[in-house]
Amino acid sequence: MEGAAMKAILTPYISVAEMLVRTFGADCEVVLHDLDDPEHSVVYVANGAVTGRKVGDSFDQLVRQVILSDQLRENFVANYYFTAPNGKRIRSSTVLIQGADGRLEGAMCINLDTTRLTRQIEYLQSFLPAPDDAAPDEQPPREPENVAVMIENLMDKILAGTDAHAMTREDRLEKIRFMDAKGIFLMKGSVDRAAEKLGVNRVTIYSYLDEVRGKRG
């Protein structure tokens, strides 16, 4: 286990993290994020050997796989998949941690390495006929208001402690690069919100995005 000093609202989740790892074993990892520091959000890791996460890392899947997910219900998303930098296929579930005022404070992610299980399933499936294609379950459209609030909350945390009027062009580029890497601009209206918070127009934000994405020479 690996941890750092953290705010009170997150402290109770440490014992939960350790309990989950002891319950599910060596293929389970639990990561606790403090979203007041988005660029170094990881404040606790139980069994970081699964993905290699460590304290001081930033979040990776939070926006794309959780906040923008159609499956977000009751502040959690269960059983989404991603490939870790070490090549492991991870089954993950994340719960968002909100304060009494509803603001996004943190997140707890449970990561399960599916490597061994996948190999066993593939072996067993090789003896079975292919299943009929199943019709996808229809999900009711999710109201976007709460998602927009969470994305704006994340923007505020990313820009916390900065003075938009005092920022250099390079300062703004670095913030845009981080937001883009984390999926912030996948949310409709996020370019306008970023422009407002950085004191520039939306054309400038698009120009910055082109630059950080390597579309400009």
27-44 per-position pLDDT tens digit: 999 999 999 999 999 999
Q: Binning pLDDT at 50, 70 and 90, where does residue 3 land?
A: low
pTM of the entire predicted model = 0.77
Q: How far apart are the first and last CA of the chain?
A: 44
Q: Mean pLDDT over all residues of the chain?
A: 88
Domain boundary assignment for the chain = 2-123, 145-212
Q: What is the predicted pLDDT for the residue at 190?
A: 92
| Residues 6 or more apart in contact with residue 100 via CB below 8 angstroms | none
The encoded tokens of residue 127 equal 């003896």
What's the count of helices (H) and strands (E) in the chain, helices before strands?
6, 6
Q: Is residue 84's pLDDT more than 50? A: yes
| Main-chain phi, psi angles of 142, to 5 degrees | -95, 135
Q: Is 199 left (phi over 0), alpha (psi -120 to 50) or beta?
A: left
CATH class of 2-123: alpha beta
Q: What is the predicted pLDDT for the residue at 143?
A: 47
Q: What is the mean pLDDT of residues 51-71?
A: 91
Amino acid at 204: T
| Main-chain phi, psi angles of 41, to 5 degrees | -75, -25
Q: What is the predicted pLDDT for the residue at 120?
A: 85
Alpha-carbon span 13 to 32, nearest angstrom = 8
Q: How many CA within 13 A on the CB side of residue 195?
A: 14
Q: What is the predicted pLDDT for the residue at 4?
A: 61
Q: Could you give the percent of the chain with pLDDT greater than 90?
A: 64
| Main-chain phi, psi angles of 140, to 5 degrees | -65, 145
* Residues 13, 45 contacting (CB under 8 angstroms): no
Amino acid at 122: E
Q: Angle 200-201-207 (CA atoms, 0-180°, nearest 5)?
A: 95
